[in-house]
Amino acid sequence: MEISTSSNTVTITGNIKSVSDFQSIKNTVDSLTNSNNTIVIDLKDSISITSSVIGYFNKLILKDSIDLNLKIGNEQLMHLLEDLSLVSVFKARRA
């Protein structure tokens, strides 16, 4: 997994699958929440997302009042979010 930022957008390429991936995402997004209330996560090609990342995104929305938007590049991941009823919560849309 690779991660980069530009303004309030975090771009993630590769699969999100390990604890270190979660830590990288958390550290990167946390650094943006200090100066941004709206954050866009662009998941270019990950086919899945770990439960720790889902929990972290929920915390950002529900506890920290961050306006989180997910751009999903993979159809399989979009279906997973639909199955988990997270599309509206994460404001997920196809990229």
Domain boundaries, the chain: 2-94
What are the C-alpha distances in Å from 2 to residues 14, 30, 47, 52, 54?
6, 17, 14, 18, 18
- Residue 35 buriedness (CB in 10 A; 0-12 / 13-18 / 19+): exposed
d(CA 33, CA 8): 9
Give the pLDDT score at 35. 92
The pTM assigned to this predicted structure is 0.94
* φ, ψ of residue 72 in degrees (nearest 5): -105, 125
How large a percentage of the chain has pLDDT more than 90?
98
User: Could you tell me which residue, 34 or 12, shows the higher pLDDT?
Assistant: 12
7 — pLDDT class (breaks 50, 70, 90)? very high
10 — pLDDT class (breaks 50, 70, 90)? very high
Give the pLDDT score at 11. 98
Q: Are residues 73 and 45 in contact, defined by beta-carbon separation less than 8 angstroms?
A: yes
CATH 3.30.750.24 fits 2-94, yes or no: yes
88 — pLDDT class (breaks 50, 70, 90)? very high
Tell me the per-residue pLDDT of 18-61, one tens digit each, with 9 for 90 and over.
999 999 999 999 999 999 999 999 999 999 999 999 999 999 99
